[in-house]
Structure 1
Amino acid sequence: MSIERARKLQQPMEKQQEQQQVKVKVQKKQWVSTGEKVLYSMATGLVVIASVFMVQFSSTTDTLNRDIQKMEQKIGQQQSVNDNLAYEAKELSNPDRILQIAKDNGLEMQNAEVKQAGVVGN
């Protein structure tokens, strides 16, 4: 019996040794190291910041271009109005028209010559 008893006592010790061998932790090698993760994070951050800057710059440029186009349209309209007013002033300063208005208001011509007045100061 002592041999059987010794075997029984020895069997649990063997199981404990087997269990201890199974419990040994194996450290796995990481695919990406911590330093690489930091570098990748910084690079990604820089790319995001550069993208935001580019979008903001494009938006500002687009806004300025639209403002310039609106201003050019206003300038074109004002030039058209100015040309129309200059043409109308030329028509109104026609000597025949002025003589006709003078006759209608009772003014008489003493000399037959009609001269166009020049610009004041010349």
Structure 2
Amino acid sequence: MSNLANKIQQVQHEQQQTIISPKRKKSQKSWLSPGEKILGMLFCVLVFVGAIHIISNQSAIYEVNKDIKNMSSSIQEQKKTNEDLTTQVSDLSNYDRVRKIAEKLGLTLDENNVKVVQR
């Protein structure tokens, strides 16, 4: 009987192998259609272009701000120069100084010919 049992076991084993071997492979469908893939790529390109546009605008804004700061500092320097020159003009237009220079040049003061000018 052991011989008969061995034969039955072999036959069952061969049947299992034949049943197991003809497995079908399932075709895997893409979870995105070609149209969706194109739309996705288009979206990625638009995001990339938008990011580059934003970065370039920020760079331009930075340059303009830098120019504004430089211009502001040059304006402050010019204001200081103007104040110094105004002080110098008021010192040089002092009445006593003008009279001394006029006397050195040989000019005399005629009280009848003097006109008062106010600033």
TM-score range, shorter chain: 0.5 to 0.7
Which consecutive unaligned segments of at least 5 residues does structure 2 have?
Answer: 1-17
TM-score, L = length of structure 1: 0.66
Amino acid at match of 1:107: G
In 2: Cα distance, 1:33 partner to 1:71 partner: 57
Compared with structure 1, are the counterparts of its residues 117 and 86 closer, same or farther at alpha carbon in structure 2 (3 Å cutoff)? farther
Residue of structure 1 equivalent to 2:67: 67
Asked if the contact 1:95/1:116 (under 8 Å) is kept, the reply is no
Which consecutive unaligned segments of at least 5 residues does structure 1 have?
Answer: 1-16
Q: CA deviation at 1:75?
A: 1.2
Amino acid at match of 2:87: Y
Residue of structure 2 equivalent to 1:79: 79
- Which structure ranks higher in relative contact order (CA pairs < 8 Å, sequence separation ≥ 6)? 1
Residue of structure 1 equivalent to 2:30: 30
Amino acid at match of 2:68: I
Q: CA deviation at 1:116?
A: 7.3
Compared with structure 1, are the counterparts of its residues 81 and 25 closer, same or farther at alpha carbon in structure 2 (3 Å cutoff)? same
Asked if the contact 1:102/1:108 (under 8 Å) is kept, the reply is yes
Percent identity between matched residues is: 26
Residue of structure 1 equivalent to 2:56: 56
User: 1:1-122, aligned counterparts within 5 Å?
Assistant: 21-22=22-23, 24-103=24-103, 105=104, 107=106, 109-111=108-110, 118=117
In 1: Cα distance, 2:92 partner to 2:116 partner: 13
In 2: Cα distance, 1:78 partner to 1:116 partner: 35
TM-score, L = length of structure 2: 0.67
In 1: Cα distance, 2:109 partner to 2:54 partner: 78
Aligned length: 109
